[in-house]
Amino acid sequence: MLSLLNLVSTVIQLYIYALFIFIIMGWLVQFNVINAQNRFVYLVMDFLYRVTEPLLRPIRNILPNLGGLDISPIVLVLGLSFLRSLMWEYLG
């Protein structure tokens, strides 16, 4: 059971890393530091979008519109961190 718990915890941590990479790459594309027309950059951004968007979309629908500020990734990271802590506390 501990191995399964460790695996789920690692997957959650990798998801958090993917979310941070997606956010940073989005900023770099917006500020024209990297070119989104580059095939590799496009593939990475598309993959990260497809992985992170299913959990971000419901959070964005619930949160109020704050103009250009999107705090849904922060809410998701806090929720996933809470889930990991809760999982280790009760199952570990």
How far is 85 from 9, CA to CA, in rounded Å? 9
Residue range(s) defining the domain that contains residue 82: 2-91
pLDDT digits (tens, 9 = 90+) for 15-50: 999 999 999 999 999 999 999 999 999 999 999 999
Question: Side chain identity at 73, as an amino acid letter?
Answer: P
Tell me the three state secondary structure of residue 34: coil
According to DSSP, the residues that pair with 66 across neighbouring strands are 69
Total structural domains in the chain?
Answer: 1
- DSSP, res 64: P
pLDDT digits (tens, 9 = 90+) for 61-82: 999 988 888 999 999 999 999 9
* Stated pTM of the model: 0.90
